Chain A
């Protein structure tokens, strides 16, 4: 089933949770709603489920207006953040619940229920836990049982609220892959909410980045990561170095120095005060060479503060002349690093290989948090 929401608005008192949101969720896709806490993603999910009533706007299921439809008629499967397993029922009874509460003439026979529950428990690989109570399960197991329970009623849509939020890092990673595989098997339209960018980028077909009740960007994981549409997305997905300056003909003037920009970047419509975003791996470090001062034309002079040589990528922290508290971060491959032979305390020049320029607007100051 495809879902679309049109002009959804929702306020809680003076707080605007959703501000005129319109979105399409095509049939069979796994979509992530990604954003910081309080951005409205969970509210949007609950509006789609029918657990929350929007102040304005419509929710369409397969093109049909479902806004007035009761939760029970929406045929959605909802997995709650804290699982909401019925604590007084066994795992089996939890999964069977949705079947048992059906009206008499729709209700499957006991044998049919039994067959179906075991099938689902096998699907989530936890059939051996059928007689346990939720309190006897680990967090990861509870999560999978909650999913099996949601699937029991054969929902047309699967909605998951921070499905891995309460789990520790290792279990989280496992379950992520598992959810992806499950989705590939069942092909049910699924939407999950997360504040973890890695999770969204790794699992989803498409990512919707939200902030303060707005949609910042919609796209494939690759699109949102490599072509962030807004400063917020740039800052929220992955780490970024931020340079404040003024656009000139040859680059971005930062204090007495100039960060060279290529012609293409300079052609962008930004003028005057601007902010440049550069990923750590898009920085270029050039060794200060007293014999060859020409080389130093353009670029920000800096000093190597710290070298973190762990793993295949080497992280280098460099002195930031504009803000001593926030160092410039660069990432080098081991090969690049071995070639440069950098040492802590050394003077270097920093340039950028790839950079995004955004106009400097005051209100952005409080939107970006890096």
Chain B
């Protein structure tokens, strides 16, 4: 790329108009509205902002949101790797159907997922009834939140790991085997390092999605302040009490976390891409 000009010469037309439209639309729909949140908190002043975002109920919601999200993303890292492995490496009846079904959490509206999960994981639900006798409640507890977040984060790890696993040359494994490694050693020392960046990227994507999730969680969460109230719900609660400043302050604290996550994900994806091209 030329260092002296903004853009390299190209014979194809339409650069100015397409970039111009892109930037305009981006500003109108995304950037200006998002900046509104920051301006609103600016009006509050630092002390008001800090007091709002560190109130005990808010802190409790952070702990719940980030804790369950982290746990759900971890579960997804393991199960997602397992599912991707099974889909890429083994052939079995119904594989293509399963492959398509993995994307269900992307396609199913979150509210539908929420009420469906609540119905089956409630004390009298299809699955919940097996846990009830042992005193384990899933729906309406933080455990229910974990179930919902695991559901919505599931496709991320599968879909980031799957293509890398497909690209992986079997020669590498054959080389490892010829050098005397057993299957487990080959997996841990050859395969896992190769898919590591993709796995971490998938984990980060699932985590980022889980932190902001609302629709599927509120039905199953129980929404008890200090116990099972997630941060996005707290924002809505504040809004319904017409506490716009409070809602916005919490939103900004979440936005900052989201931006940092986005930055990390971008770096991770660059890393994955480099690994795949090398």
A: residues with CB less than 8 A from B are: 11-14, 50-53, 70-71
Contact B11 A12 (CB under 8 A): no
Q: Complex: how many Å from CA A51 to CA B10?
A: 7
- Asked if B47 CB lies within 8 Å of chain A CBs, one says no
> A-facing mask of B1-45, CB < 8 A → 1, else 0?
111000001010000000000000000000000000000000000
B2–A13 contact, CB under 8 A? yes
Alpha-carbon distance between A116 and B205 when the two chains are bound, in angstroms? 56
- In angstroms, Cα B11 to Cα A70, docked, is 8
A70 to B13 CA separation, bound complex (whole angstroms): 11
Q: Would A13 and B1 count as touching, CB distance under 8 A?
A: yes
Known: A12-B2, A14-B3, A53-B9. 10 other contacts (CB 8 A): A11-B2, A12-B1, A13-B1, A13-B2, A13-B3, A50-B11, A51-B11, A52-B9, A70-B11, A71-B11
CA distance A23 to B248 in the complex (A): 67
B8 nearest CB neighbor, chain A only: A12
Q: How far is the CA of A52 from the CA of B11 in the complex (A)?
A: 7
Chain B residue nearest to A52 in the complex (CB):
B9
Which 5 residue pairs of A and B lie closest in terms of their CB atoms, listed nearest first? A53-B9, A71-B11, A13-B3, A51-B11, A13-B2
- Interchain nearest-CB distance for B11 vs A (Å): 5
Residues of A close to B11: CB separation below 8 A: 50-51, 70-71
The CB with the most chain A CB atoms within 10 A, among B1, B2, B3, B11, is that of: B11
User: Which chain A residues lie closer than 8 Å to B2 at the CB level?
Assistant: 11-13
Q: Is the interface of A mostly helix, strand, loop or mixed?
A: loop
Interface residue ranges, B against A (CB under 8 Å): 1-3, 9, 11
**Chain A to chain B contacts (Cβ below 8 Å), 5 pairs:** A12-B1, A13-B1, A13-B2, A51-B11, A52-B9
List of A residues within 8 angstroms of B1 by Cβ? 12-13
Bound form: Cα–Cα A52–B9 in Å:
7
Give the residue name and chain of the B residue nearest to A13 (CB).
Answer: B3
Tell me the minimal C-beta distance from A101 to chain B in angstroms.
Answer: 13
Give every chain A residue within 8 A of B3 (Cβ-Cβ). 13-14
Interface of B is mostly: loop
Measured between alpha carbons, how far is A14 from B11 in the docked complex, in Å?
22
Instruction: List chain B residues, Cβ under 8 A from A70.
Output: 11
> CA A70 – CA B9 in complex, angstroms?
12
CB-CB < 8 A to B9: which residues of A? 52-53
* Complex-state Cα separation, A243 to B3, whole angstroms: 43
CA distance A216 to B155 in the complex (A): 58
What is the distance, in angstroms, from B167's C-beta to the closest C-beta of chain A?
22
User: How distant is B40 from chain A, measured CB to nearest CB, in Å?
Assistant: 43
CA separation between A50 and B12, bound complex, in Å?
11
Residue of A nearest to B9 (CB): A53
A53 to B1, CA, bound (A): 14
Instruction: Determine how close the nearest CB of chain A comes to the CB of B8; give it in whole angstroms.
Output: 8
Q: How far is the CB of A161 from chain B (nearest CB, A)?
A: 14
> What is the bound-complex CA distance between A14 and B2, given in angstroms?
8
Q: How far is the CB of B16 from chain A (nearest CB, A)?
A: 16
Least CB separation from A51: chain B residue: B11
**A70 CB to nearest chain B CB (Å):** 8
State A12–B3 Cα separation when bound (angstroms): 8
- B203 → chain A, closest Cβ, in Å? 37
The answer for the CA separation of A13 and B11 in the assembled complex, in Å, is 19
A50 to B11: give the CA distance in the assembly, Å: 8
CA–CA, A50 to B1, complex, Å? 18
Shortest beta-carbon distance, A71 to chain B, in Å?
5
Bound together, the chains give a CA A71 to CA B9 distance in angstroms of 13
Distance from B13 Cβ to chain A, minimum over Cβ atoms (Å): 10
Q: In angstroms, how far is the closest chain B Cβ from the Cβ of A102?
A: 17
> B9 to nearest A CB, angstroms?
4
Q: Whose C-beta in chain A lies nearest to the C-beta of B2? A: A13
What is the CA–CA distance of A244 and B2 in the complex, to the nearest angstrom?
A: 41
A214 to chain B, nearest CB (A): 21
Which residue of chain B has its CB nearest to the CB of A49? B11
Q: Which residue of B lies closest to A71 (CB)?
A: B11
Q: For A53, list chain B residues within 8 Å (CB).
A: 9
- Smallest beta-carbon distance A31→chain B, Å: 23
Q: Using Cβ atoms and an 8 Å threshold, which residues of chain B touch A51?
A: 11
Beta-carbon nearest neighbor of B3 in chain A: A13
Shortest distance in angstroms between B15's beta carbon and chain A's nearest beta carbon?
A: 14
Q: What is the CB-to-nearest-CB distance from A209 to chain B, in angstroms, rounded to a whole number?
A: 27
| A70 (CB) vs chain B CBs: closest residue | B11
In the assembled complex, the Cα of A70 lies from the Cα of B1 at a distance in Å of: 22
Shortest Cβ distance from residue B232 to the other chain A in the assembled complex, whole angstroms: 45
Closest to B1 in A: A13
Query: What's the minimum C-beta distance from A68 to chain B, rounded to whole angstroms?
Result: 13
The smallest beta-carbon distance between A41 and chain B, in angstroms, is: 19
Min CB gap B4→A, angstroms: 9
- In angstroms, Cα B9 to Cα A11, docked, is 12
A12's closest neighbor in chain B, by CB?
B2
CA of A51 to CA of B11, assembled, Å: 6
Q: Which residue of B lies closest to A72 (CB)?
A: B11
User: How far is B2's CA from A52's CA once the two chains are assembled, in angstroms?
Assistant: 13
Nearest opposing residue in chain B for A14, CB measure: B3
- Shortest distance from the beta carbon of B265 to any chain A beta carbon, whole Å: 29
CA A51 – CA B12 in complex, angstroms? 9
Closest chain-A Cβ to B120's Cβ sits at a distance in Å of: 47
Query: What's the minimum C-beta distance from B2 to chain A, rounded to whole angstroms?
Result: 6
Q: Which residues of the partner chain B approach A13 to less than 8 Å between Cβ atoms?
A: 1-3
